Amino acid sequence: MMSNIAFIGLGNMGSGMCANLARAGHQVRAFDLNAEAVAKAVATGAVAATTIAQCVSDASFVITMLPAGKHVHSVYFDDDGVLAHANENALLIDCSTIAVDEARSAVAKVDEVGYGALDAPVSGGVAAASAGTLTFMVGGETADFERAKPILETMGKNVFHAGPSGNGQAAKTANNMLLGISMIATSEAFNLAEKLGLDAQTFFDISSKASGQCWSMTSYCPAPGPVPTSPANNDYEPGFTVAMMLKDLRLAEDAADGAGADIAFGKQAEQLYARLEDQGLSSKDFSVVMRHVKDD
């Protein structure tokens, strides 16, 4: 069934997601503070909106893909924001990566007004957003999840219900902390193997079939050579930047402090990526940590 969809936040990720919704035949109204981003969305099948009010007034679904929690709260709750203008049956789906607490407090406020709302952050980068192969981790009521699922499936290949509000962000924060740590561990392993006399391909052939195997190795190898598509073979151009990894590790740290969870390695990983940022590498791919491990 085709729906009226409002899409707010047409950056690196949102532009591809919006294009996939329009390509599937949905009526998409697109809004961003950046007029160029709106023009690009129009070129891929959306209708331009110049205000949030115009974007959301007819929409059954309001999708946001914004930089951080403060932007989501502002777009939802400002006087000229989504809550002031959405129609009463609208379901709000926030796909941005934001803090678990920020997601839960947003839903609590939205609930008071009577709208349904989901946190639905994604895994997979810009290429997956364009290709429609994202993984969605969704928090919220089951009925709202079932209503959103066909829309999310237009933009992704895996759509998981993680439980009540905030659980999508909780899954995302734990997953990305694991990714940040495993990229460092993989880099250390390749460096150790090399120093002990193995070249990267030989170590990869063995470890990718042994118990050290992980995504950071087999899909995104930080050592140049074994995985041709990995950023290591393109001077560590992103991909997923050091700055984005730092954002996610800081969200994990805050969440862990609030929940009383011990994340000693997560905290060390945050410090290491912060050192990369201090060295001017924030816009390199986070797998550039391999160079740091090698040089130390």
3-state secondary structure of 237: coil
Nearer CB in complex with ligand NAD: 167/191: 167
DSSP 203-233: HHHHHTTSTT--HHHHTT-SSSSSSTTSGGG
Place of tokens 């999840």: 145
Distance CA 289, CA 242 (A): 9
CB contact set of 2 (below 8 Å; sequence gap of 6+): 25, 26, 27
Amino acid sitting at position 33: L
Helices (H) then strands (E): counts for the chain: 14, 9
Nearer CB in complex with ligand NAD: 82/223: 82
Instruction: Give least dist CB 81 to ligand NAD, A.
Output: 9
Q: Does residue 3 contact residue 63 with C-beta atoms inside 8 Å?
A: no
Instruction: Give least dist CB 196 to ligand NAD, A.
Output: 34
Instruction: Give least dist CB 290 to ligand NAD, A.
Output: 19
Instruction: Give least dist CB 199 to ligand NAD, A.
Output: 31
Nearer CB in complex with ligand NAD: 149/250: 250
CB contact set of 190 (below 8 Å; sequence gap of 6+): 200, 203, 204, 221, 222, 223, 290
Nearest residue to ligand NAD by CB is: 11
Q: Considering the candidates 149, 172, 195, 209, report the single residue annotated as catalytic.
A: 172
Residue 172 catalytic?
Answer: yes
Nearer CB in complex with ligand NAD: 179/193: 179
3-state secondary structure of 100: helix
Nearer CB in complex with ligand NAD: 97/207: 97
Q: Does residue 138 contact residue 118 with C-beta atoms inside 8 Å?
A: yes
Give the residues across from 139 on adjacent strands: 119, 163
Q: Give the interface with ligand NAD as residue ranges (CB under 6 A).
A: 8-14, 31-34, 37, 65-67, 71, 74-75, 96-97, 122, 125-126, 240, 244
Instruction: Give least dist CB 23 to ligand NAD, A.
Output: 18
- Return the active site residues: 172
